[in-house]
Amino acid sequence: FPDAYRAMNVQHLASGYRRMVDTLTELAEPCADGQAPRLALLTPGPYNETYFEQAYLARYLGLPLVEGGDLVVRDERLFLKTVQGLEPLHGLLRRLDDDFCDPLELRSDSHLGVPGLMQAVRAGHVVLANALGTGFLESPAVHGFLPALSRHLLGEELSLPSLPTWWCGEASAWADIAPDLASQVIRPSYPYAGTPGFGSPRLRQSFDAVLGQTLSQPALNSWRERIDHDPAAYTVQGFVPYAQAPVWQAGHIAMRGASLRVYALSDGKGGWQVLPGGMTRIATRDAGPVSMQLGGSSMDTWVLTEDAVDTFSMLPSAVRPDELAQRQRPVASRTGENLFWMGRYTERAEQQLRLVQGLLSLQTSEDEADEHVLQALSDLAALNGLVPPGAPALHKAPRVFERAVLDALSDERATQGAFSLGYNLEALSRSSQSLRERLSPAHARLLRSLGEGFRQALIQDVPTGQHPGLQQADAALEQLAMQLAAVTGAQTDRMTRDVGWRLLTVGRLIERLVGYTAFLRAFWVHRALSQAQGFDQLLDIFDSAITFRARFQRRLEVPALLALLVHDETNPRALACVLRRLRTELGKLPDRTGLHDDLLALLPHQGVGVELELLCDPKEGHARVLALCDRLLDAGWRLSDEIARQYFVHAEPNDSMVSA
């Protein structure tokens, strides 16, 4: 509603957020030893129900979005693990609950926090906003003490009344409210499950708020017994019906319970500023609890002003040239690893797609299939996870094999052991979830929709209870091919050429190297190129049929095939072209202690390492092609392991790495 937004004089929030970043920067300056402080936003990760908001906020503020696994403490200082090495951090905008922040001193079962973070804070080497310990204020038990605290600390009454609240750990409070429990709300004093009770060594389990008026008498008695057993774990509050907010649902307006959350910013010196806006949380049902964890949603809350709207922008008014380098954010190792695997999953899905299309086209062909071609395709289908282990070979039971391929296509969990297209599309979607702050909205939506769109296309017009046939599979595969082409275009043409993009490209090229080398090897081992059918199948899988026909017409000769698929550096699917691009991209990755030379040494120095004439030799050519394939497969897998070891693992501050 842009017109309404402007006409109603909705107050902007940008100046408040700029003040927050500036305050955190100022407080972190003593930790930076005279350097410009580095800040980040700490998130629980993509499985948190508010992760989208955290990714949006990080992007808006211009801060790296980091998880606990991205950080490490060395010598009481906090570092971000990046592809370039360890980068110091001096301030964190924390969106991770208190108890999960440091498994050494808080919850030992937490995988979300940073071991040693509390010691780094105590040493004065990192500033947190919000500070550790502020989670105490999340307890509803605090509400009962707010009136007295206001009078004691400020000498005045609360400006806004607090809900009538009784902390049952106070014996007189529990005795006072126990007879009226049926008209109250029972809440956990310690909101987060498994949180140690304040001053108590045992763990108290959390629970959802309970309305006394919805309980039967036996249930009410049961709750009284539970409170008597551990009164400190329970807080009772007066029941106030939720305000109602309109939502648009199923073509009409409906009312939902709503609660308003507002925000105040501290300047670190005792001053506070309330943001002119907030978030309204709405329930899933009109009378249900307002909880994001229970499936609730949120809406913006606008504050109107009679004065001029604050037009401050988060964009800085001026940037000095010496600041530009600092604004090129380092790529976190986790981000680099996710981008690396996004490239691999994208390429793997494309290769599986072309292989499935080749298999299905062979099944619908009017010509009798050559047994050598069937053997090669059977091996490739098993190697690429298109059929489960133990599936009968294509040349022995073609209909059973076809059914196994079709059944595995949409199985995103690989329940039968076949890691087919559905599984890799789901893996691609998961990697995109962890990269939300780096991908454009259109790119992210496309990646998330691939798997579901493919499954829906497979079952379109298929009667309930029946399996998709070749016709449905062909249509679904064609649709997926166009979508994957769009994904490739977004990755190639719309992403910044930083280190993260280069890792994505390297991942894709490694997958292409090992994938296409395996294709060539399978056809070579089974001597499937002795027939035109084998030529056509291999050229289609390499996506090089048009080029071959334009260049060689129908000269189905092995030297021509090897020239195009192995030695041609202008063909993006040829092994020589893949190797050339790999050498180029590896040379542009961060070089740490001569790492470039070590990585490049795994690949042939030039071309594929063997002259075309030697591969075409009538006597030794067959064995040399197989030996070349084996060398390239070994080089691809070793290169993948070495990149992971060097760029994604940070074991010691002196960069000595331990391979897992």
**187-236: pLDDT as tens digits:** 999 876 444 433 333 455 667 788 888 899 999 999 999 999 999 999 99
pLDDT class of 468 with cuts at 50, 70, 90: confident
The CATH number assigned to the domain holding 174 equals 3.30.1490.270
**Within a domain: 486:** yes
pLDDT in tens, 558-593: 999 999 999 999 999 999 999 999 999 999 998 876
- What are the tokens at 504? 């994505």
**Within a domain: 360:** yes
pLDDT in tens, 252-308: 998 888 888 888 888 888 888 888 888 888 887 655 567 666 667 888 888 998 888
- The single-letter DSSP state of residue 47 is T
CA dist., res. 118 & res. 132, Å (int)? 8
**Within a domain: 645:** yes
Beta bridge partners of 66: 42
Cβ proximity of 46 and 433 under 8 Å? yes
pLDDT over threshold 70, residue 84: yes
User: What mean pLDDT, rounded, does the chain reach?
Assistant: 87
Residue with the larger pLDDT of the pair 167 and 250: 167
The pLDDT of residue 2: 82
Residues 130 and 144 in one domain: no
CA dist., res. 259 & res. 243, Å (int)? 7
Residue 393: strand, helix, or coil: coil
Residue 482 CB neighbours (<10 A): 8
Residues 36 and 169 in one domain: no
Q: What is the mean pLDDT of residues 531-537?
A: 90
Cβ proximity of 533 and 370 under 8 Å? yes
Max CA pair span of the chain: 99
- What phi and psi, each to the nearest 5 degrees, are found at residue 133? 110, -15
The pLDDT of residue 326: 53
Sheet holding 71-74, edge to edge: 71-74, 77-82, 85-88
**Strands 272-282 and 297-302: what pairing?**
antiparallel
* Domain end point (choices 216, 238, 260): 238
What is the number of domains present in the chain? 5
Segments forming the whole domain that contains residue 258: 243-291
The pLDDT of residue 218: 93
Angle between helices 421-433 and 441-459 (to 10 degrees): 160
CA dist., res. 222 & res. 219, Å (int)? 5
The pLDDT of residue 318: 58
Give me Rg for the CA atoms of the chain.
31
Residues 6+ apart with CB under 8 A from 550: none
Residues 17 and 95 in one domain: yes
Angle between helices 545-552 and 532-541 (to 10 degrees): 130
Residue type for position 598: D
pLDDT in tens, 577-634: 999 999 999 999 988 767 788 899 999 999 999 999 999 999 999 999 999 999 999 9
Residues 469 and 594 in one domain: no
Q: pLDDT exceeding 70 applies to what percent of the chain?
A: 91
**Strands 203-204 and 272-282: what pairing?**
unpaired
pLDDT over threshold 70, residue 323: no
Q: pLDDT exceeding 90 applies to what percent of the chain?
A: 54
Residues 370 and 467 in one domain: yes
Residues 109 and 168 in one domain: no
In three state form, how does the secondary structure of 59-90 look?
HHHCCCEECHHHEEEECCEEEEEECCEEEECC
558: closest CA among 479, 603, 608, 625?
625
Q: What angle do CA 413, 436, 655 make, to 5 degrees?
A: 90
The pLDDT of residue 433: 85
Cβ proximity of 51 and 95 under 8 Å? no
pLDDT in tens, 336-365: 999 999 999 999 999 999 999 998 888 777
CA dist., res. 231 & res. 621, Å (int)? 83
Residue 299: strand, helix, or coil: strand
The pLDDT of residue 198: 39
Residues 483 and 587 in one domain: no
pLDDT class of 137 with cuts at 50, 70, 90: confident
Strands (E), 189-249: 195-196, 203-204, 210-211, 234-238, 243-249
CA dist., res. 400 & res. 406, Å (int)? 10
* Domain end point (choices 135, 160, 187): 135
Residues 590 and 529 in one domain: yes
Residues 62 and 163 in one domain: no
The pLDDT of residue 527: 94
Residues 507 and 655 in one domain: yes
- What phi and psi, each to the nearest 5 degrees, are found at residue 25? -65, -45
**Within a domain: 323:** no
Residue 280: strand, helix, or coil: strand
**Within a domain: 314:** no
The runs of H, that is alpha helices, within 38-145 are 51-61, 117-122
* Domain end point (choices 135, 161, 195): 135
Residue type for position 21: V
**Within a domain: 298:** no
Residues 125 and 158 in one domain: no
**Within a domain: 322:** no
Sort 42 into a burial class: Cβ within 10 Å, 0-12 / 13-18 / 19+.
buried
The CATH number assigned to the domain holding 131 equals 3.40.50.11290
Q: How far apart are the first and last CA of the chain?
A: 53
**Within a domain: 297:** no
- The single-letter DSSP state of residue 84 is T
Residues 6+ apart with CB under 8 A from 217: none
The pLDDT of residue 337: 93
Residues 561 and 591 in one domain: yes
The runs of H, that is alpha helices, within 245-370 are 321-324, 333-364
pLDDT class of 62 with cuts at 50, 70, 90: confident
Residue with the larger pLDDT of the pair 192 and 480: 480
pLDDT class of 506 with cuts at 50, 70, 90: very high
pLDDT over threshold 60, residue 420: yes
CA dist., res. 387 & res. 381, Å (int)? 6
